[in-house]
Structure 1
């Protein structure tokens, strides 16, 4: 992902996370830390961005910062491809575990993460701006991991 991608990424961000979308300034800050501690990618179909994802890595721990796919393109493997890329980058950077937070009211996302081997750690009460809880999850990475 580059700064040139931000107008489209921000449209997807606001459409996907209307109650707690990141600001463009927040996203620019993430991109400034790329590639030092961040890795952001976009998914395109016919040259149009339809999804994006980001990872933060410090020492041996990685955190999925965000992952989003336009509603009309969900359930087509795009989110899985983005997650594959984030996990592969975590392995490349030497992470031993990957953490994430997911909205408690988003069972499809939770199911996708579980398919990737993430397990539930706990709950962060009222984590999101609208008061929704977050479920914290972790995936331990093995020698042959990437998925």
Structure 2
């Protein structure tokens, strides 16, 4: 079975919120996810396995920069490349829309996600002390998608 990223909309907020709750202790509600997906510049992508959402990525673009708001993979489907698929698809779409760089935050207590982002070319540019509810620091990462005059990845 070929897994691929597909766009998601606010109309899918309920199952996406259920997925997010399986991934994080403080998962986002359907209202929060729906509100984000209704914002201009917000891109939602998901992967399905057997017809059910197994991974989700939300990006928000502002001019030539973007932020990865969340990247969530159902624990039952981790280590199958779903996060890589979503991250690559999102970066490609944002690049095509003129985005030069992407930012994200990742908890210092999430080495699996940190390794994924490092493999994908993200580098730490700052720390936010005590950013998360558990008191852990957020590592602020960035990735340049294009340099001035670049027309391809």
5+ residue gaps, structure 1, are none
5+ residue gaps, structure 2, are 1-7
Cα-to-partner distance string for 1:83-102 (whole Å, 9 max, x where unaligned): 01110121011011100000
Q: Does 8-17 or 90-99 show the bigger shift? A: 8-17
| Structure 2 residue corresponding to 1:79, chosen from 80, 83, 91 | 83
Q: How does 1:100-111 map to 2 (within 5 A)?
A: 100-111=104-115
RMSD of aligned alpha carbons = 1.2
2:36 equivalent to 1:30: yes
Whole-angstrom CA distance in 1 between matches of 2:52 and 2:35: 23
TM-score normalised to the size of structure 1? 0.91
TM-score normalised to the size of structure 2? 0.87
Whole-angstrom CA distance in 2 between matches of 1:50 and 1:134: 25
Aligned to 2:10: 3
Q: How does 1:1-147 map to 2 (within 5 A)?
A: 1-18=8-25, 20-33=26-39, 36-142=40-146, 143=150, 144-145=152-153
How many residue pairs match? The answer is: 142
Whole-angstrom CA distance in 1 between matches of 2:101 and 2:22: 30
Kindly state the Cα deviation for residue 31 of structure 1 after the two structures are TM-superposed.
1.2
Kindly state the Cα deviation for residue 44 of structure 1 after the two structures are TM-superposed.
0.6
